[in-house]
């Protein structure tokens, strides 16, 4: 350059680029979805390998057991479920299918319009999209709790997807949809967005009976806000909305069966599920400790004990009390019911708030430690999910 002018030999200064900031913003925005999809993709890939070794396929395994019932309801409605589909005792009655809540089958039927009537694809798509939506809610929960951060939220997403029966979140089961709704409802409670909390709880009440824990947590949080005279009429609206889905379906079943406790009778007489104060679970734990040989039994025992320990740790960390109420009520339904013990690992999935203490603890560690732990639990979950669907011979 001579006299402030560029000569032909001078290089032009590099133009400022916006690509890097845009890429960073995109990755930040997509991080919850990417974490969820990465963990679940490993699980499905391992399942595909294990299914192939047993002359099966991943799609078949991902739509089995209760998933087949939910797809049948989506296709035929409650009244048209094929008569060869039997309850836990080998029976089929006019009310057997009413034991399954309508939210997930309704969503599958709606999405089936987009998949050309292929309801298996629709069911998998509902679970796929629900998982992504839920991942963003879990990330927000990780940010909103005391001592939380975005890193803790992303770790929570990974830990949830890599739960022992995390494979269910990719199946034609209702857990993925329910957990997404429950997580956003709890975000609404923590942010005092009562309409969000109430609407999501109401929708969750149409998906799974586990919504009783969510309705209890949202209702108590709304009551506390009303007593404290906070937020005007919004807690009233949110609290009342929360119970409408669950009570609405139970009421509908009562009218169909002609019995006020119709749904509970169907569960007890057809599927063997009922509250027994924890007697059956205590007996099962004693039998496993006294001579259980099956890997699945040991995993259930560890998960049951671990869930109780994590709840105590959550209390010690003073997590927001609505989250603790939700987690505790979930444990009451898992610990306190008679029924298929093999399903208890799956039934612990909605108690995702119990993973928050682990996420908070890991968030303060080095990145290499976090990656190592997440990779380890992802691989363990992937194998265990494949084992549960291709080797374990009983229902999940």
Angle among Cα 292, 272, 107 to the nearest 5 degrees reads 110
Give the bridge partners for 337, in sequence order. Answer: 275
> pLDDT class for 339, splitting at 50, 70, 90?
confident
> pLDDT class for 13, splitting at 50, 70, 90?
low
pLDDT higher than 50, residue 6: no
What pLDDT does 21 receive?
A: 86
Single out the residue of 238, 218, 197 nearest to residue 325, CA to CA. Answer: 218
What pLDDT does 2 receive?
A: 41
User: What digits encode the pLDDT tens for the residues 110-119?
Assistant: 999 999 999 9
370/295: higher pLDDT = 370
Task: Answer yes or no: are the C-beta atoms of 250 and 270 closer than 8 Å.
Answer: no
Instruction: Give the mean pLDDT of the chain.
Output: 94
Query: What's the farthest any 2 CA atoms get from each other in the chain?
Result: 97
**DSSP-assigned letter for residue 5:** B
**DSSP-assigned letter for residue 231:** S
Cβ within 8 Å of residue 367, ≥6 positions away: none
pLDDT higher than 80, residue 133: yes
Domain residue spans of the chain:
30-390
> pLDDT class for 8, splitting at 50, 70, 90?
very low
What pLDDT does 14 receive?
A: 53
For the CA atoms of 224, 226, 229, 234, the dihedral, rounded to the nearest 10 degrees, stands at: 120
Tokens in use for 378?
A: 């992802």
Q: What is the percent of the chain with per-residue pLDDT over 70, rounded to a whole number?
A: 95
Least confident among 41-50, 278-287, 289-298, 370-379: 289-298
What pLDDT does 16 receive?
A: 53
pLDDT higher than 90, residue 74: yes
The mean pLDDT value for 164-170 works out to 97
> pLDDT class for 289, splitting at 50, 70, 90?
confident
The pair phi, psi for residue 204, each rounded to 5°, is -60, -30
**DSSP-assigned letter for residue 365:** S
Instruction: Report H helices in 292-392.
Output: 295-316, 321-335, 344-347, 356-363, 367-390
What pLDDT does 287 receive?
A: 87
The mean pLDDT value for 7-20 works out to 55
pLDDT higher than 60, residue 5: no
Neighbours of 227 (CB within 10 A): 9
User: What digits encode the pLDDT tens for the residues 189-237?
Assistant: 999 999 999 999 999 999 999 999 999 999 999 999 999 999 999 999 9
Cβ within 8 Å of residue 382, ≥6 positions away: 42, 43, 45, 46, 47, 162, 167
Q: How many helices (H) and strands (E) does the chain have?
A: 18, 2
Single out the residue of 228, 133, 227 nearest to residue 185, CA to CA. Answer: 133
């Amino acid at each position: 350059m001579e006299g402030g002018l560029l000569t032909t030999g001078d290089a032009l200064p590099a133009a400022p680029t916006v690509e890097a900031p845009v890429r960073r913003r995109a990755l930040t925005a997509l991080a919850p979805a990417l974490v969820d999809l990465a963990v679940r993709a490993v699980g499905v890939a391992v399942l595909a390998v294990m299914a192939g070794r047993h002359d099966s396929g991943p799609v078949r395994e991902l739509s089995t057991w209760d998933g087949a019932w939910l797809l049948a309801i989506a296709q035929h409605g409650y009244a048209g479920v094929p008569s060869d589909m039997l309850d836990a005792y080998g029976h089929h009655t006019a009310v057997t299918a009413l034991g399954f809540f309508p939210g997930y089958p309704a969503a599958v039927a709606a999405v089936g319009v987009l998949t050309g009537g292929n309801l298996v694809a629709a069911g998998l798509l509902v679970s796929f999209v629900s998982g992504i939506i839920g991942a963003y809610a879990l990330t927000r929960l990780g940010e909103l709790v005391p001592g939380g951060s975005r890193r803790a939220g992303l770790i929570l997403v990974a830990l949830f997807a890599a739960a022992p029966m995390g494979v269910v979140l990719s199946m034609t089961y209702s857990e993925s949809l329910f957990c997404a709704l429950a997580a956003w409802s709890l975000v609404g409670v923590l942010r005092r967005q009562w309409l969000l909390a109430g609407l999501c709880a109401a929708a969750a009440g149409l998906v799974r009976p586990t919504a009783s824990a969510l309705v209890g947590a949202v209702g108590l949080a709304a009551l506390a806000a009303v007593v404290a005279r906070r937020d005007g009429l919004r807690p009233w609206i949110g609290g009342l909305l929360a119970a409408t889905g669950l009570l609405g379906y139970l009421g509908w079943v009562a009218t169909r069966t002609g019995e006020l406790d119709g749904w509970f009778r169907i569960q007890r007489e057809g599927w063997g599920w009922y509250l027994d104060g924890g007697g059956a679970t205590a007996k099962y734990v004693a039998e496993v400790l006294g001579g259980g040989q099956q890997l699945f039994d040991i995993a259930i025992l560890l998960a049951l004990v671990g869930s109780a320990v994590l709840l105590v740790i959550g209390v010690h960390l003073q997590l927001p009390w609505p989250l603790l109420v939700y987690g505790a009520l979930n444990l009451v339904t898992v610990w306190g019911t008679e029924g298929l013990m093999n399903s208890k690992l799956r039934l612990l999935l909605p108690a995702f708030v119990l993973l928050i203490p682990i996420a908070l603890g890991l968030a303060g560690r080095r990145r290499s430690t976090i990656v190592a732990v997440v990779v380890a639990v992802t691989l363990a979950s992937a194998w265990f999910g494949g084992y549960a669907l291709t080797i374990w011979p009983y229902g999940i």
